[in-house]
Structure 1
Amino acid sequence: MNFLKKFEQKMNRFAIGGIINYVCAMLAMGTVLYLVAPGFLNYLILNPIAIMQGQVWRILTFFVYPPAFTGGNPMGYILFNALAIYCIRSFGTIVEQVWGKFRFNCYIILGVLLNVAASLFMYLVVGFPMVLTPVYLVYSFFFVFALMFPDMQVLLMMVLPLKAKWIAYAEAAVYIYYFVKGDIYTRVQIFVCILHMFIFFGWMVLAGETGYKQKKRQKDFQKKIKPMVSNKTGHKCAVCGRTDKDSPGMEFRYCSKCEGSYEYCMDHLYTHQHVKKPDSPQ
Structure 2
Amino acid sequence: MRWLTALENRLQWVAFPGLFKYLTFLGVIIFAWQWIDPTVVERISFDRSKILSGEVWRIISFAFAPTGTGSLTPIGILFLFFAVMIAFLINDSLEQVWGPTRTTLYLMTAWVGLVIGMFVFDPGTLPAGRYLYTSMFLAFATYFPNYEFRLFFILPVKVRYLGWLALAMMLISGFANPVMWCVVIPTLIPYALWVLPAEIQGRAALAQAAKRRQKFTLSQKSEAEAFHTCATCHRTEHDDSDLEFRTMIDGTEYCVEHLPVDDSADKKSD
Decide whether the 8 Å contact of 1:152 with 1:164 is kept in 2.
yes
8 Å CA contact retained: 1:119, 1:130: no
Cα distance between partner residues in 2 of 1:212 and 1:173: 20
Q: CA RMSD in A?
A: 3.1
- Please, what TM-score do these two structures have when normalized by structure 1? 0.62
Higher helix fraction (1 or 2):
2
Aligned-partner SS, 1:16:
coil
1:30–1:64 CA contact under 8 A, matched in 2: yes
Q: Which has the higher contact order (CA 8 A, sep 6+)?
A: 2
1:64-143 aligned at under 5 Å gives the runs 64-67=64-67, 74-123=73-122, 129-131=124-126, 133-143=128-138
Deviation at residue 36 of structure 1 after TM alignment: 1.3
Give CA deviations for 1:102-147 in whole Å, capped at 9, x if unaligned. Answer: 1110111111111111111014xxxx64545211220222211121
Aligned partners of 2:17, 2:104: CA distance in 1, in Å? 8
Q: State the distance in 2 between where 1:102 and 1:218 align.
A: 27
Q: Which runs of 5+ in 1 are unaligned?
A: 225-282
Q: Deviations over 1:173-212 (max 9, x none)?
A: 333443444x56655433432344224446xx3xx7xx65
Secondary structure, aligned partner of 2:150: strand
Percent of aligned positions that are identical: 19
Say if 1:101 and 1:122 are closer, same or farther in 2 by CA, change over 3 A: same
Aligned to 2:265: none
1:111/1:134 Cα in 2 relative to 1: closer, same or farther (>3 Å)? same
Question: 3-state SS of the aligned residue for 1:138?
Answer: helix
- The 1:187/1:73 distance shift into structure 2, 3 A limit, reads farther
CA distance in 2, matches of 1:88, 1:3: 29
Alignment partners' CA distance in 1, 2:182 and 2:7:
31
Identify the residue that residue 259 of structure 1 maps to in structure 2. none
Matches within 5 A, 1:1-282: 2-67=2-67, 74-123=73-122, 129-131=124-126, 133-181=128-176, 183=177, 186-201=180-195, 205=197, 213=201
| Structure 2: gaps spanning 5 or more residues | 214-270
Change (3 A) 1:90 1:216: farther
Q: How many residues align?
A: 209
Instruction: Give the superposition deviation at 1:69.
Output: 5.1
For the residues of structure 2 that align with 1:218 and 1:86, how far apart are their CA atoms?
Answer: 32
Q: Relative to 1, partners in 2 of residues 1:218 and 1:107: Cα closer, same or farther, differing over 3 Å?
A: farther
Q: Which residue of 2 aligns with 1:274?
A: none
User: Which amino acid is 2:8 matched to?
Assistant: E
Structure 2: which amino acid aligns with 1:50?
K
TM-score relative to the length of structure 2: 0.64
Which has the larger Rg? 2
